[in-house]
Amino acid sequence: GQQVMQIPQYQHVQEGEDFTTYCNSSTTLSNIQWYKQRPGGHPVFLIQLVKSGEVKKQKRLTFQFGEAKKNSSLHITATQTTDVGTYFCALGTSGGSYIPTFGRGTSLIVHP
Amino acid sequence: DAGVIQSPRHEVTEMGQEVTLRCKPISGHDYLFWYRQTMMRGLELLIYFNNNVPIDDSGMPEDRFSAKMPNASFSTLKIQPSEPRDSAVYFCASKGGFGTPATGELFFGEGSRLTVL
């Protein structure tokens, strides 16, 4: 089956520092999604990447899809306490339907 | 739309009891997913339905778990008998299929936190 590795598992930062989480797949991906889960909450969709080498930005968040479509990263510039949560990548199976396999997630802790 | 609705939000039960979790997907979505989340195993896909038909239940841990989707607006996940190791947060999610503008985004419910004593 599809293997997904997400690192790091935890990351502590001081407010204002940058943060990056990485997602690596054992197979070439058709696309990848990113979700955020606040403490005590549920996963919420952030973005989907489809094209090789694609880069998308949402305010302070930058998402990249690797050229080989086997890895992806999420970078947050100048973290804020509102960024606290667990960030998951989700890998899709090939074919017409997107049935995602979630990584273990990276938990971000921001210290004020 | 109210989003994906799950009930109960919290359930505490004793080992051996039957547990039924319920989910109402977003109207018009034709995929429904059941996930289980624990610290040890992360977010695991248990089963998913397409147009009310179970497509892949390979993630269901054992025969004690069963899921049904009698119609497009309702699904249940049942555990009988429950065991302490079933304690987890169970999420239901839905998404649109072909012909929808959706990117494949999953919409999650708020989850049902199950504690089996």
Closest CA to B31 of B56, B66, B13, B6: B56
A110 three-state secondary structure = strand
In terms of Cβ atoms closer than 10 Å to its own Cβ (0-12, 13-18, 19+), residue A109 is middle
Residue B101 has pLDDT above 80, yes or no: no
Q: Which of B42, B91, B98 sits opposite A42 (nearest CB)?
A: B91
Report CB contact under 8 Å: B104, A31. Answer: yes
Measured CA to CA, the distance from residue A96 to residue B103 in angstroms comes to 12
Q: What is the pLDDT of residue A68?
A: 92
Eight-state DSSP code of residue B86: G
- Do the Cβ atoms of B93 and B108 come closer than 8 Å? yes
Does the distance separating the beta carbons of A48 and B105 come in below 8 Å? yes
Residue B104 to residue A33, Cβ atoms within 8 A: yes
For residue A51, list chain B residues with Cβ-Cβ distance below 8 A: none
pLDDT in tens, B65-99: 999 999 999 999 999 999 999 999 999 999 986 65
Question: How close is the nearest chain B Cα to the Cα of A18, in Å?
Answer: 25
Q: How far is CA B101 from CA A81, B23, B60, B80, B96, in A?
A: 33, 23, 30, 38, 8
pLDDT digits (tens, 9 = 90+) for A50-85: 899 999 999 999 999 999 999 999 999 999 999 999
Q: Indicate yes or no: CB of A31 within 8 angstroms of CB of B98.
A: no
Q: β-strand B19-24 against B5-7: which pairing, if any?
A: antiparallel
* Residue B85 backbone dihedrals phi, psi, to 5 degrees: -70, -5
pLDDT digits (tens, 9 = 90+) for A10-28: 999 999 999 999 999 988 8
CA distances from B8 to A35, B21, B90 (A): 24, 7, 10
Best of A23, A31, A38, A99 to disrupt the B interface (most B CBs within 10 Å) is A99
Supply the pLDDT for residue B103: 63
Report the gap between the CA of A41 and the closest CA in chain B (Å). 6
Which residues of chain B have a CB within 8 Å of the CB of A105?
42-43
Contact between chains at B97 and A48 (C-beta distance less than 8 A): no
Nearest Cα residue in chain A from B106? A45
Across the interface, whether the CB atoms of A103 and B42 are under 8 A apart is answered yes
